[in-house]
Amino acid sequence: MKLKIIGSGGCVSTPRPCCNCPICVEAREKGFPYARTGCSLYLED
Ligand SMILES: [Zn+2]
């Protein structure tokens, strides 16, 4: 079995849906690298 780690930014993605705090607003405006995905794995088998 082969696993590929494709996301390790944090346990919660940024920006969070419907959140209007300054961090999420900045992430929506500027995109990468301010916007981050959450943890994710890709299973190749
Ligand atoms: Zn937020």
Q: Is the pTM of this model over 0.75?
A: no
* Cβ atoms 37, 27 nearer than 8 A: no
The Å distance, Cα 29 to ligand 1 centre, comes to 13
Dihedral sign, CA of 16, 22, 28, 33?
A: negative
The Å distance, Cα 24 to ligand 1 centre, comes to 4
The Å distance, Cα 21 to ligand 1 centre, comes to 4
For 1-45, write each residue's pLDDT tens digit: 999 988 877 788 899 999 999 999 999 999 988 998 888 899 998
Kindly list the domain boundaries of the chain, sorted by start residue: 3-43
Q: Taking the CB of residue 15, how many other CB atoms lie within 10 A of it?
A: 19
The Å distance, Cα 15 to ligand 1 centre, comes to 6
The Å distance, Cα 42 to ligand 1 centre, comes to 27
